[in-house]
Amino acid sequence: MTTKPIYHPNIPTNTRSNAKSIRLPIGIKLIIALVAGLGFSFALAPYYLWPLALFSVMALYALLVGEDSGRRGFWIGWVYGFGTWVIGAFWLYNSIHEYGAIPSWLAYIMIGVMAIIMGLFHAFFAWGFVRFLGRQPLAFASFWVIQEWLKTWLLSGFPWLFVGYAFTEQTWMNGLAPVLGVFGISFVAVLFAASVVELFRHKVAFIGLSALTLAVSFGLSLVDWVKPSGEKLSVSLVQGNIPQDMKWLTEYRVRTLEIYEDLSKSEWGRDVVIWPEAAIPMFHDEAEPFIAGMINRARNNDSTWVTGLIYRDLKNYDENRHAYPPIYNSVAVLGETQALYKKQRLVPFGEYVPFEGLFNLLPDLANMQGAMSISRGSSNQAPFTIKGQNVGAAICYEVAYPKTTRHNAKNTDFLMTISNDAWFGSSAGPWQHLQMVQMRSLETGRYFVRATNTGVTAIINQKGQIVNQAPQFERTVLRGEVESMSGVTPFVRFGSYPILVLSALLILLSFVAKYGKSKTSRTQKYYTGKGVRD
């Protein structure tokens, strides 16, 4: 006579019998998850220790693959995400404390709260992976991509700290960028990390698949999706190095304009002279005499002047409908032609107040909010034309969004971005920002020129390589040439849709496979007589 084996309906039998994984107390797992999350940030700029990205993901996968409890998986993922964000985005402390007049202790708390909130992305990812997806590398990589994508739009988006950025300069991996974008690189990197763990669990199938994808990625790095069109422009990127705590002081405005004017004197005659974001520290209509003088200099020397400014739209202002005229964080092209690009992607709480519609319930607050907020530019703005070449623009935070940059790159010869990273001091923030611009160059196959207030000012080629770079926190001009490119990368043509669709399909297949197998196992257990007393 045999006895019926112990069975619990909430524990899938197909996973408990085969799992060769880490069996540790939950407290130890949480400590490992925290350390793994903290370590991930050092894989990114300015440290560039890219192997840490793989080790970090390997640790998280090893912790989750043997978990039977979605609740414990949730906490493991949350602690991992907290560690990732509390270090990876600590550069926000500079802007909160140094320039936001927030006490140090409160700034630390605010960073911690931000990390707790952003850690929820990893928490729900880990919960869903353990609870629903059968704990396989393909499902792990696919769900990872989805949670990164969610960060680009959910709750207005904070698309930072993606795994793919760690491999921006690794040719054996970055060949995927022009095809599948940063999410494609994240997918392959996470799949490889999970497959290594499976190898230690004596499962070799996935490591073969990972090796194949890496070989394909390296092969793609040898493909030239775009080619030079033969046109080159000389560019001068003016880095004013204006201290952030003085930039908007009324008494320092004239001095700021003098600094940029003096730095540019020897640059007129070059094709393009570019000033950084909000280089003119007042509304454009308040600086019209100065702007007119600079336009004349540019025209007299056959140069195009590009500058960041705050554009106040007085022409389209209806005082009967709005208390204040709309203002835009803008790039102005001035000289032989004139054009204006208005920033589309605004920084929450920095440039606008989220959920602004709620302010309409209280008129006084609505008026205050209207005075504080910058308006959003159209998503269908045409490229600039400079010296016969089409140029796409992005302002600061916008380069963090693959979709926005991809859209702005269509029908262009090269790209430009202006920024003011003085808010973040000597932290990792400006370098992470630069790394994103490198990835956008790879994805679009276009040169990117980047003019900033305090750095990092740089010229980046279509391969994502930094051609020339100015030192940080110096008042200087970076000179170089930008080469126009023709041709369209698959990423510009199709965007992130291929990798997102693939990930969604793999998640669906994993879900079906897990619950189909679980149902079959239970049916056999109860209806074939195995393990049942005669």
The single residue of 29, 247, 396, 463 carrying the catalytic annotation is 396
Classify the C-alpha dihedral 239-240-245-249 as positive or negative: negative
> What are 460's two structure tokens?
């980046």
Residue 228 DSSP SS3: strand
Beta strands 466-469 and 458-460 are: antiparallel
Nearest to 370 by CA among 319, 324, 328: 324
Q: How far apart are CA 177 and CA 166, in angstroms?
A: 12
Residue 27 DSSP SS3: helix
Question: Hey, what amino acid is at 382?
Answer: A
Beta carbons within 10 angstroms of residue 258's beta carbon = 11
Active site residue 403: no
| pLDDT number for residue 520 | 56
Tell me the per-residue pLDDT of 345-363, one tens digit each, with 9 for 90 and over.
988 767 776 655 554 554 5
Q: How far apart are CA 69 and CA 311, in angstroms?
A: 54
Asked if 451 and 237 touch (Cβ cutoff 8 Å), the reply is: yes
Q: What is the DSSP code (8-state) at residue 168?
A: T
Decide: residue 478, CB within 10 A, 0-12 exposed, 13-18 middle, 19+ buried: buried
Active site residue 277: yes
CA-atom Rg of the chain in angstroms? 26
Tell me the per-residue pLDDT of 415-435, one tens digit each, with 9 for 90 and over.
999 999 999 999 999 999 999
Q: How far apart are CA 31 and CA 21, in angstroms?
A: 17
What's 228-347+377-489's CATH class?
A: alpha beta
| pLDDT number for residue 3 | 47
Q: How far apart are CA 533 and CA 530, in angstroms?
A: 9
Asked if 427 and 396 touch (Cβ cutoff 8 Å), the reply is: no
| pLDDT number for residue 232 | 93
In the beta sheet, which residues pair with residue 481? 234
What stretch(es) of the chain map to CATH 3.60.110.10?
228-347+377-489
This prediction has a pTM of: 0.89
Q: How is the chain split among helix, strand and coil, in percent rounded to 5? A: 50, 15, 30
Q: How far is CA 251 from CA 116, 282, 472, in A?
A: 40, 12, 25
Q: How far apart are CA 462 and CA 464, in angstroms?
A: 5
The single residue of 67, 277, 351, 443 carrying the catalytic annotation is 277
What are the backbone angles phi and psi of residue 308, rounded to the nearest 5°?
-85, 140
Q: What is the mean pLDDT of each run of 10 residues along the chain (534 residues)?
A: 46 42 84 98 97 98 92 97 97 89 93 96 96 88 98 90 97 94 97 93 79 91 92 96 92 96 97 97 95 96 97 83 86 93 86 60 46 81 94 96 96 97 94 98 98 96 97 98 96 98 95 71 51 38
| pLDDT number for residue 351 | 76
The single residue of 343, 387, 463, 514 carrying the catalytic annotation is 343
CA trace torsion 47, 48, 50, 55 (10° rounding): 0
Asked if 437 and 225 touch (Cβ cutoff 8 Å), the reply is: no
**b/e string for 47-66 if b means 16 or more Cβ within 10 A?**
eeebebbbbbbbbbbbbbbb
In sequence order, the 6+-apart residues with CB closer than 8 A to the CB of 16 are 68
Active site residue 343: yes
